[in-house]
A and B are shown apart, each in its own frame.
Chain A
Amino acid sequence: MTLLDVRDLHTQFPTSRGVVKAVDGVDLEIEKGEIVGLVGESGSGKSVLAQSILGIVDSPGRIAGGDIELDGESLLEMSDRERAELRGGRVSMIFQDPMNSLNPTLSVGEQIAETVRLHQDVGESVSLPAEIKRKILGATKDSESWRRAIEMLEAVEIPDPAGRATDYPHEFSGGMRQRAMIAMALSCEPDLLVADEPTTALDVTVQAQILEELARLKEEFDTSILLITHDLAVVAETCDRVNVMYAGEIVERAPAEELFGNPKHPYTQGLIASTPRIDREVDVTPIEGNVPDLIDIPYACHFAPRCPESDRECFEIEPPFRPVGGPDHEAACLKRGSDPELGPGPRSGDASRGRDRAGSGAGTEATDD
C-alpha cells in the first residue's frame, strides 16, 4: 500500500540570477514498511526533495507545482499548523550531521521527551510557561514523556539510558548522537522517516551499526524510510528500492539488487563506475564534468552534456520513463528501453543488455512529456 506519493513535484528557489529548479518534476512512491533509497551527487536536489516532503523548505524556496500525498491526504493543502503537527508525529527526519542536529543547551532526554510531549497525548502541557515551570521545578524526571524518552534511548541501544538521558549532546559521541537523533525521530512512531545522509558524517564501523539499527527499527516500529545518500554501498546494503536523482530529476528507479546488478541509465552506470571497489581491481572512472547550475537548464535531458552516449535528440526530446530490464525497473533515457541496440554504456556488460526487453517500452508512465 502506498504511504507516500510524490507526484510531479517542483520546488524552486527564486534568486537574483534566476529561478533555481532544485526539484524539477519528481515522482516518488514509498510503500508501507519499505526502505527506499534516493541517490545522487551533491547538488542533485535530494535534500530539497526531503525538505519539501517535510514542508521545511528554507525561505525563499517554495513548492511551485505537483503534489505530495501521505496516505492519500494531500500535504500541500494542509494548513501550517496541521503540517507542523504532522512533522515529528507521522513524518520525521534525521540529518546528516549528528554533531549539530541536537540542541546543545538541552539534555538529550529532554529533547526526546519534548518531542513526545508535542505529539503524543501524555497529559503534559507544552505551553511555554509550562515548559519553564517544568524546567525550574525539575519535575521532568517523573513524567511519562521522560519515561518514553528513556525507552527510546534503550531502543536505539544507548547503554545506561536512564543515566545518559540527563547528559548533554556534547557528552555523546558522534554515533551516539545519531542514535539519539534517531530515538528522537522515532519517539512518536512515525509512518515515514526521512533520513538525509544519516551516516555520511560517521566513520564506517559506526555507519554499519547505525544502518543496522535503522533496519531493525523499521521492523520494530513498522516505519517506512526514505534513505537519502550519495553512498552507493549504503544503498545497496539497506534499501528495497532505489531512485537515482540527477539535477532535480529522477533518472532511474529499480529494486536495489536490480539497480546495482543491471544499471541502465548512463548516469547510474557512471555513478557505479566511479565507485572504488575493494574486492576487485576496477578502474575508477569518474563522470566528467559537474552537476549543472539548476537555473534554467535549456536542454531536455539534464544529463546530456556529461553523457558519453548523448546525441542531438537528447538535447531536444524530454526522455520519458520507460521500463528497462527487470520488473519495476525504469529509466528516463532515450537510449534505453525501447531501443536497446543504441549505444553501449560504459560498464554495462553484454549480459545485462541482453536482458533488456526489446521493444517493451510503450512509453508507459511517461511523466514529463
Chain B
Amino acid sequence: MSTDTGADTPGFGERRGEFGPGEMPSEYEVEEETEEYRGLAGRLVDGILGDKMALFGAVIVLLFVVTAVFAPYLAPHGQEETFSFMKEPMTSSTLDVDDDGQTEQVLHPLGTDSFGHDILSRMIFGARVSLLVALATLAVSLTIGTTIGVLAGYYGGVIDSLLMRYVDFQWAFPELILGVAIIALSGGLGVINVIIAIGIAYIDDFARIVRGEILSIREEEYITAARAIGMGDARIMFREMLPNAVAPIIVQATLMIPLAILAEAGLSFLGLGVKPTTPTWGLLLSDGRQFIDRAWWISVMPGLAIMVTVLSFNMFGDGLRDAFDISEGEVEER
C-alpha cells in the first residue's frame, strides 16, 4: 500500500521553469479540444442538413405547407371555376372568362376534369384540406394517445391493463376499416367526422410508444427525486416525464401525418370522406376513376401529389428519427 515518494521527486509544479511536473514546454501545450455542445434544435438541423433524403423530404414538406397556407394566392383559378371539360395537361380552354364579350385562352398546366375544373387549382386547394385534416387528426390521436400512454405507464396495474387492452382491441383492426366504421357510426360526411375517425384510429400507435417510454422513465432516479420533493402525480407525469418522452412522440407525429393524408384520401376515394364538392386529393382521384381510359390525368395528377407528399413526409420523419437517436449518431461518428 505504501507509495514510493522518493526524496528527489519534486512536488507538483515545484520546479516551474525547468519543466518539472505541472509544466511542459509550450509547444506541447495543446488547447484542450472539446466538442461544442449542440442543443437539441441544432442537432436536429444538422441531422436534417446532413441527410440528403431527409433534406429533400423537408423541402417538399415545406413547399406543401406553403402551398396549403397560401392556396388562394397561388392557385391560378378559383376552386369552383369551370372551363372546357377534360382538357389535356398543357392545353388551353378558349372561352370568355371575364365576361367582356371576347374569348380568351386559359392555360391548364395539369388539364381539367370532367366538370371542367382546373386540376392544378383544385389540387392546390386540396392541399389545404389534406394538411388541415392531417394536422387535426394528429392533434386528436396525439392528445388522446399520449394521455392513455402516460396514465398506463405511470400507474401500471389495473389502469394499465384496462387502457392497454383497449389499445390492443383497437390494434386488431386496420386503421382504414376502423375509420370507416367510426364514420358509419357517427353518420354523415364532413371534415370533422373524418378528423375524428382517423384521429381515433391512430390512437394506439401513440399510446404504445408513450407507454413504453414512460415505463423506462419511471425507473429513473430523478422521478424518485421528484417524489421526494413532494410533487404530485399529475405534475410528475406531465412536467417531469413527458418532456423526456418527447423525441419519439415527435418522430411518430411526422410519420403519422402522411398516414393521415393517405387515410383521408382513402376515405374520400371510398366516398366516406368530406363532402363531394370539397376538393381533396382523394376525391379528385376518385372522380377521375371512371374516365381513366379517356383522361388519365384526372386521376394520375392527384395520385402523384399524394405519393410525393407522403414520400417526403416519410423521408423527413426518418431523418428526424435518426437525428434524435443520439446513440446511433455517435456510433456513426466513430
**Chain A residues near B (Cβ < 8 Å):** 54, 56, 59, 84-89, 92-93, 95-97, 100-106, 115, 118-119, 126, 128, 131, 171, 181, 184-185, 276, 278, 281
CB distance from B41 to the nearest CB of A (A): 14
Residue of B nearest to A104 (CB): B244
Question: When the two chains form their complex, are residues B229 and A185 in contact, meaning their CB atoms are under 8 A apart?
Answer: yes
Interface residue from A100, A118, A184, A276 paired with B221 (Cβ < 8 Å): A100
Complex Cα–Cα for A118 and B220 (A) = 21
B238 within 8 A of partner (CB): yes
Given the known interface contacts A95-B221, A100-B220, A128-B238, the answer about A88 and B243 at a Cβ–Cβ threshold of 8 Å is no
Question: When the two chains form their complex, are residues B230 and A101 in contact, meaning their CB atoms are under 8 A apart?
Answer: no
Interface residue from B227, B238, B243 paired with A87 (Cβ < 8 Å): B227
Given contacts A92-B229, A119-B230, 20 further A-B contacts (CB under 8 A): A56-B228, A59-B157, A88-B229, A88-B231, A96-B221, A97-B221, A100-B220, A101-B225, A105-B246, A115-B229, A118-B229, A118-B230, A119-B229, A128-B238, A131-B239, A171-B37, A181-B225, A184-B229, A276-B1, A278-B1
Question: When the two chains form their complex, are residues A101 and B229 in contact, meaning their CB atoms are under 8 A apart?
Answer: no
B235 within 8 A of partner (CB): yes
CB distance from A32 to the nearest CB of B (A): 21
| B225 CB contacts on chain A under 8 angstroms | 93, 95, 101-102, 181, 184
Complex Cα–Cα for A84 and B37 (A) = 37
B187 within 8 A of partner (CB): no
Interface residue from A84, A131, A281 paired with B230 (Cβ < 8 Å): A84
- The main secondary structure of chain B at its interface with chain A is helix
Residue of A nearest to B40 (CB): A105
Complex Cα–Cα for A101 and B222 (A) = 4
| A101 CB contacts on chain B under 8 angstroms | 221-222, 224-225
| B51 CB contacts on chain A under 8 angstroms | none
B240 within 8 A of partner (CB): yes
Encode contact with A along B260-280: 1 for CB under 8 Å, 0 otherwise. Answer: 000000000000000000000
Complex Cα–Cα for A101 and B221 (A) = 5
Question: When the two chains form their complex, are residues B227 and A56 in contact, meaning their CB atoms are under 8 A apart?
Answer: yes
Question: When the two chains form their complex, are residues A103 and B240 in contact, meaning their CB atoms are under 8 A apart?
Answer: yes
Interface centre among B229, B231, B240, B243 (most CB of A within 10 A): B229
CB distance from A194 to the nearest CB of B (A): 8
Encode contact with A along B215-237: 1 for CB under 8 Å, 0 otherwise. Answer: 00000111011111111101100
Q: List 27 A-B contacts (CB under 8 A).
A: A56-B224, A59-B157, A84-B230, A85-B230, A88-B228, A88-B229, A88-B230, A92-B228, A93-B225, A93-B228, A95-B221, A95-B224, A100-B220, A101-B221, A101-B224, A103-B240, A103-B244, A106-B243, A115-B229, A115-B230, A118-B229, A118-B230, A119-B230, A126-B235, A128-B238, A181-B225, A276-B1
| B37 CB contacts on chain A under 8 angstroms | 171
Please count how many residues in chain B sit with their CB below 8 Å of the partner chain's CB atoms: 24
Given the known interface contacts A59-B156, A131-B239, the answer about A103 and B228 at a Cβ–Cβ threshold of 8 Å is no
Question: When the two chains form their complex, are residues A84 and B231 in contact, meaning their CB atoms are under 8 A apart?
Answer: yes
CB distance from A26 to the nearest CB of B (A): 19
Complex Cα–Cα for A105 and B37 (A) = 15
Complex Cα–Cα for A100 and B222 (A) = 6
Complex Cα–Cα for A97 and B156 (A) = 25
Residue of A nearest to B235 (CB): A128
Given the known interface contacts A104-B244, A278-B1, the answer about A87 and B229 at a Cβ–Cβ threshold of 8 Å is yes
Residue of A nearest to B237 (CB): A128
Q: How many A-B residue pairs have CB under 8 A?
A: 75
**Chain B residues near A (Cβ < 8 Å):** 1, 37, 156-157, 220-222, 224-232, 234-235, 238-240, 243-244, 246
Residue of B nearest to A118 (CB): B230
Given the known interface contacts A128-B235, A131-B239, A171-B37, the answer about A102 and B222 at a Cβ–Cβ threshold of 8 Å is yes
**Shortest 5 CB-CB distances between A and B: which pairs?**
A88-B229, A88-B230, A87-B230, A105-B243, A93-B228
Residue of B nearest to A54 (CB): B228
Question: When the two chains form their complex, are residues A105 and B244 in contact, meaning their CB atoms are under 8 A apart?
Answer: yes
CB distance from A59 to the nearest CB of B (A): 7
Given the known interface contacts A95-B221, A100-B222, A103-B222, the answer about A118 and B228 at a Cβ–Cβ threshold of 8 Å is no
| B244 CB contacts on chain A under 8 angstroms | 103-105
Question: When the two chains form their complex, are residues A84 and B228 in contact, meaning their CB atoms are under 8 A apart?
Answer: no
| B243 CB contacts on chain A under 8 angstroms | 103, 105-106
Complex Cα–Cα for A54 and B228 (A) = 7
| B232 CB contacts on chain A under 8 angstroms | 84
Interface centre among B226, B227, B228 (most CB of A within 10 A): B228
Question: When the two chains form their complex, are residues A86 and B1 in contact, meaning their CB atoms are under 8 A apart?
Answer: no
Complex Cα–Cα for A282 and B222 (A) = 40
| A86 CB contacts on chain B under 8 angstroms | 230
Question: When the two chains form their complex, are residues A87 and B222 in contact, meaning their CB atoms are under 8 A apart?
Answer: no
| B224 CB contacts on chain A under 8 angstroms | 56, 95, 101
Complex Cα–Cα for A105 and B240 (A) = 8
Complex Cα–Cα for A23 and B295 (A) = 81
Interface centre among A105, A115, A185 (most CB of B within 10 A): A105
Complex Cα–Cα for A96 and B239 (A) = 23
Complex Cα–Cα for A87 and B220 (A) = 18
Question: When the two chains form their complex, are residues B228 and A87 in contact, meaning their CB atoms are under 8 A apart?
Answer: yes
Residue of B nearest to A281 (CB): B1
Residue of B nearest to A187 (CB): B229
CB distance from B95 to the nearest CB of A (A): 53
Residue of B nearest to A131 (CB): B239
| A105 CB contacts on chain B under 8 angstroms | 243-244, 246
Residue of B nearest to A103 (CB): B222
| B156 CB contacts on chain A under 8 angstroms | 59
Residue of B nearest to A96 (CB): B221
CB distance from A79 to the nearest CB of B (A): 12
Given the known interface contacts A59-B156, A95-B221, the answer about A103 and B226 at a Cβ–Cβ threshold of 8 Å is yes
Interface centre among A118, A119, A276 (most CB of B within 10 A): A118
Residue of A nearest to B1 (CB): A278
Residue of A nearest to B226 (CB): A103
CB distance from B250 to the nearest CB of A (A): 13
Residue of B nearest to A58 (CB): B224
Residue of B nearest to A112 (CB): B229
Complex Cα–Cα for A103 and B229 (A) = 13
| B231 CB contacts on chain A under 8 angstroms | 84, 88, 118
